[in-house]
Amino acid sequence: MVRKVWQICVYAGMDDYHVVMDQKAVGRELLAQVLEEVGVKEQEWFGLQYKDDDNFWHWLVHDKKVLSQRVSEKNDPIVMFLKVSIVYVQVRVAIESEEILCSSKESSVFKELAEADKVEEYLTKAEMMSEYGWWHFLMTRPQDTTPARVSVGLTGLILTVDNRKFDFPFSEVDEVWASGKKLMIKYVCKNISTTTFMGPNNNFTKDFQFLANAHHHHYLHSAI
């Protein structure tokens, strides 16, 4: 029996959203459905990202069927990430770095699409958002395969599981270190057990360790 609908789990900042997608839906339709669920009006700023079976990132193409792309159908639900996608800025950078080759006339036209004033306006608004400056990592725990989002910010760490948030201020964190795919968070209070997470690969946990320790160092020195 052919499956007609798919469950999609979308990670957007600190929150998770679940939508049902028709098997024939194209990327643009899924994005519109997600943004309506999230309640976002400025739709031109956003896109959906996903990881394929080889753990590589891809942007969801708007005019192709979702299931015809490199989306992993092994996961149920299929996991997507809502991300900022400033397309015309990406085009400008690609032209200037010669990743995209075109005539000088076309090049000048594309560069004008950058609209720097609008980008500046967007960034100004972004800085006012409560989630500005947070980095999100999707991990699991040793005895639980439920995806857990561990976020790194200027003031501490946040663990999000099923839209429930747990704060770990840097004032309470003693050390963050990685060993292979395993990530460990040690606390100042000796009565609190070390928290352990599992990442998809060594580089993933090393990136988290670097960001967490850099933010932790900045927090401790700025508090002096």
For 120-146, write each residue's pLDDT tens digit.
Answer: 665 666 666 666 678 888 898 888 877
Spatial contact of 152 and 173, defined as CB atoms under 8 Å apart: no
Q: Looking at 30-39, 119-128, 168-177, which range is the least confident one?
A: 119-128
Give span(s): CATH 2.30.29.30, the chain.
135-222
Of the candidates 189, 107, 197, the one whose C-alpha atom is nearest the C-alpha of residue 161 is 197
More confident residue, 39 or 33: 33
Give span(s): CATH 3.10.20.90, the chain.
5-84
Rg (C-alpha) for the chain, rounded Å, is 20
Q: Tell me the CA end-to-end span of the chain in Å, nearest whole number.
A: 64
More confident residue, 77 or 40: 77
CATH for the stretch 5-84: 3.10.20.90
**Mean pLDDT estimate for the chain:** 81
CATH for the stretch 135-222: 2.30.29.30
Residues 6+ apart with CB under 8 A from 168: 156, 157, 158, 159, 185, 187
| Confidence (pTM) | 0.53
Of the candidates 135, 131, 154, the one whose C-alpha atom is nearest the C-alpha of residue 222 is 154
Tokens of 180: 């292979």
What is d(CA 87, CA 92) in angstroms, rounded to the nearest whole number? 9
